Amino acid sequence: MTFDFSRLTATCAVESPDKAITLPPEAYGSDDLYADEVDRIFKRGWIPLCRVEQVRTPGSYYSIDILGTPLVVTRDRHSEIRVLSRNCSHRWMEVCSGAGEANVLQCPYHLWSFGLDGHLAGAPEMKKSAAFDRNDYPLKKFRHEVWKGFVMVNFDGQAESLASQYAALDPIVDVYDLENYQTVEQTDWGVCDWDWKIMVDNFMECYHHMGPHRGSLEDQFPAALSYTGEVGDYFTTMWSGQAPGYPADPPFL
């Protein structure tokens, strides 16, 4: 069924957050809406890929699929972080998977190899082609920036810089010293049976603590004490007050 965008527009057209209401239920399961979100939100904005410590040393790489696009985050021999396509520029096979360290990323099909900066380093037998120029076949590069230790990608290359987008957020999160966080464990949820907006909604409030988290999180962070804090063009903060007897420094954001 075609999604009714006019209803969504009316829902979102509120004067202030305190007058906001929930999205129509079909917004959480519409393929039409999701396709529009990909084009209007995700490809135009910034998407986190990994942490800088996950590509800590020259030669490190970290593979991830985003919006159906196979990417690899690398740190090249000059210690520069890159975000590249994993698809070989020759026949589109993937040149790597997972994470690790390598001097080159090599396609398993015709053994073309690429430096971790994306340049074509080797192409067996291609010297026999008079028209071949290896400079014409690098791995595709994607615009990226690093914010607070997070490597982030912008697909359309037109987004406002992260420094500008998050200028008002920086002083709020500086107390958490995010740049010095270390990734110690990852959980892969695979393909989830819920829409991305479910995750956003879930992490923007502690209202649900009274339900699935009663007897655990609800004891320390009661649903009644959570509230929306700062609202910017590119971020919203959610704060949770704590029940007596649970000191925290800094407060839970």
Tokens for 250, please give them.
Answer: 């800094």
Predicted model pTM: 0.89
Per-residue model confidence (pLDDT) at position 116:
98
103 falls within a domain: yes
Nearest CA-CA partner of 116 in 80, 142, 91: 80
- Summarised one tens digit per residue, pLDDT across range 137-193 is 999 999 999 999 999 999 999 999 999 999 999 999 999 999 999 999 988 888 888
| Cα-based angle 230, 233, 234 (whole degrees, multiple of 5) | 90
Which of the four pLDDT bands, split at 50, 70 and 90, describes residue 253? low
| Cα-based angle 41, 72, 65 (whole degrees, multiple of 5) | 50
Nearest CA-CA partner of 248 in 169, 175, 168, 170: 175
**Peptide bond connecting 108 to the previous residue in cis, omega within 30 degrees of 0:** no
100 falls within a domain: yes
- Summarised one tens digit per residue, pLDDT across range 12-56 is 777 776 777 778 888 898 888 899 999 999 999 999 999 999 999
185 falls within a domain: no
Tokens for 46, please give them.
Answer: 């910034």
Place of tokens 């290896």: 134
Q: What is the CATH number of the domain that holds 111?
A: 2.102.10.10
23 falls within a domain: no
91 falls within a domain: yes
Nearest CA-CA partner of 142 in 151, 129, 133: 151
Range of the domain at 82: 49-145
Tokens for 51, please give them.
Answer: 């942490």
- Which three-class secondary structure string do you get for the chain? CCCCHHHHHHHHCCCCHHHCCCCCHHHHCCHHHHHHHHHHHHCCCCEEEEEHHHHCCCCEEEEEEECCEEEEEEECCCCCEEEEECECCCCCCECCCCEEECCCEECCCCCCEECCCCCEEECCCHHHCCCCCHHHCCCCECEEEEECCEEEEECCCCCCCHHHHCCCCHHHHHHHCHHHCCCCCCCCCCCCCCCHHHHHHHHCCCHHHHCCCCCCHHHHCCHHHEEEEEECCCCEEEEECCCCCCCCCCCCC
Per-residue model confidence (pLDDT) at position 209:
93
248 falls within a domain: no
Split into its structural domains, the chain has a count of 1
Tell me the average pLDDT across 3-13: 72
73 falls within a domain: yes
- Summarised one tens digit per residue, pLDDT across range 185-241 is 988 888 888 889 998 888 888 889 999 999 999 999 899 988 888 888 899 888 888
246 falls within a domain: no
